[in-house]
Amino acid sequence: MRLDEIPRSHRPGEGAMDLDAVRAVGEAVGAAHRFVYFVPEGAEEAAGLGVTDPGRAYLAFRSAAMGAVPWQVVLAAFYNFSPRAVRAAAGVWDGAPPERWQAARFLVAGRAMRRVGVRLAEDGHLAEARSLIDRVVAGADCAGKVLAAANASVALPSDPLVALWQQLTVAREWRGDAHLVVLADHGLGPCDCLVLHTATGRLPAALARTTRQWDDGEWEAATARLAARGWLDSGAALTAAGRAARERIERETDAHCAALWAPIGNAGARRLASLVAPIADAFAAAGTFRALPGR
């Protein structure tokens, strides 16, 4: 969806959703969700299910909501992973079914949030956040949103804090699913989009290459394609045109997501962003994201 194709009701200043509010809540929700990939509880729970390789554990935890689908389906849904990275996780359900991995993921989230001292219930913020995100999830159109739909189908756990985290996960994956549509519209394949992301400095290239497992030839070919578009310079650094392209992609993703947040409007979206911010703040204070740029 190009910006000039955004419905008038979703354009800034012309209707229900301000794209700056959409960006703010999207970033806050993503930040509140992502700790689950970096905490030691993840490795501990995965080991209990017989998996000690971090890559296989990541794929099993994140894809569990989809059920025991073939690795090719996981590859399609995750988009920026190499086939070799996802193929390596084939057979993970032989040791434990997806339902056990999903339950373990909830344990990871709950244990980690309590370890770092996430407290939202004491001042009523947990209930308020649920009242907002529940309306968003209930109204979400998940057509074409594979990971969002899968997570929305998962029964919420009895732990109120983890239930909130799972609802936030639905919204986070909804934006991610929408982002893939925009990437494809801009002709950015799985490796290309990853190279572009690392060039922004927001994701370490070493981490991206280790987890996504693109080899040297594939990485160099993607870099060359981006350079040919004028988005990277001869040293593989982001150019002004590349930075503008990256922001255009994010803005078009915001446009896709305007409908997701419409049930709570601009004020509700900004309020939710502030309500869930303490989750990411607690993990940042605990040093969870120390390996990431600017952390």
- Residue 255: give the domain boundaries: 10-285
Tell me, yes or no, whether 291 lies in a domain: no
| Block residue for tokens 């309590």 | 114
CA distance 63 to 89: 11
pLDDT at 2: 52
Tell me, yes or no, whether 292 lies in a domain: no
Q: What percent of the chain has pLDDT over 70?
A: 93
11 pLDDT higher than 70:
no
SS3 232: strand
Tell me, yes or no, whether 25 lies in a domain: yes
CA distance 174 to 20: 18
pLDDT at 4: 53
167 pLDDT higher than 60:
yes
Bigger pLDDT: 202 vs 81: 81
CA distance 109 to 137: 19
pLDDT at 16: 74
130 pLDDT higher than 60:
yes
Tell me, yes or no, whether 1 lies in a domain: no
CA distances from 104 to 43, 273, 285 (A): 11, 27, 24
Tell me, yes or no, whether 5 lies in a domain: no
Q: What percent of the chain has pLDDT over 90?
A: 88
3-state secondary structure 155-198: CCCCCHHHHHHHHHHHHHHHHHHHHHHHHHHCCCCHHHHHHHHH
pLDDT at 293: 53
Confidence of residue 8 (pLDDT cuts 50, 70, 90): very low
pLDDT at 291: 62
Mean pLDDT across the stretch 236-253?
97
Q: What is the DSSP letter of 237?
A: P
Please state, as a whole number, how many other Cβ atoms lie within 10 Å of the Cβ of residue 285: 11
Bigger pLDDT: 5 vs 137: 137
111 pLDDT higher than 80:
yes
Question: Are the CB atoms for 170 and 134 separated by under 8 Å?
Answer: no
pLDDT at 224: 98
115 pLDDT higher than 50:
yes
Q: Which amino acid belongs to residue 57?
A: A
Neighbouring residues of 117: CB distance < 8 A, sequence distance ≥ 6: 282
pTM here?
0.92
For the CA atoms of 60, 85, 169, 37, what is the dihedral angle to 10 degrees? 80
Tell me, yes or no, whether 274 lies in a domain: yes
Mean pLDDT across the stretch 135-154?
98
pLDDT tens-digit map of 77-96 = 999 999 999 999 999 999 99
Please state, as a whole number, how many other Cβ atoms lie within 10 Å of the Cβ of residue 213: 17
Number of domains making up the chain: 1
pLDDT at 122: 77
Mean pLDDT across the stretch 253-272?
98
33 pLDDT higher than 60:
yes
Mean pLDDT across the stretch 262-290?
96
User: In whole numbers, what is the pLDDT of the chain averaged over residues?
Assistant: 93
Assigned token pair, 7: 């419905």
Tell me, yes or no, whether 82 lies in a domain: yes
CA distance 88 to 31: 28
Tell me, yes or no, whether 247 lies in a domain: yes
Question: Are the CB atoms for 246 and 91 separated by under 8 Å?
Answer: no
pLDDT at 270: 98
CA distance 38 to 18: 32
DSSP 105-122: HHHHHHHHHHHTT---TT
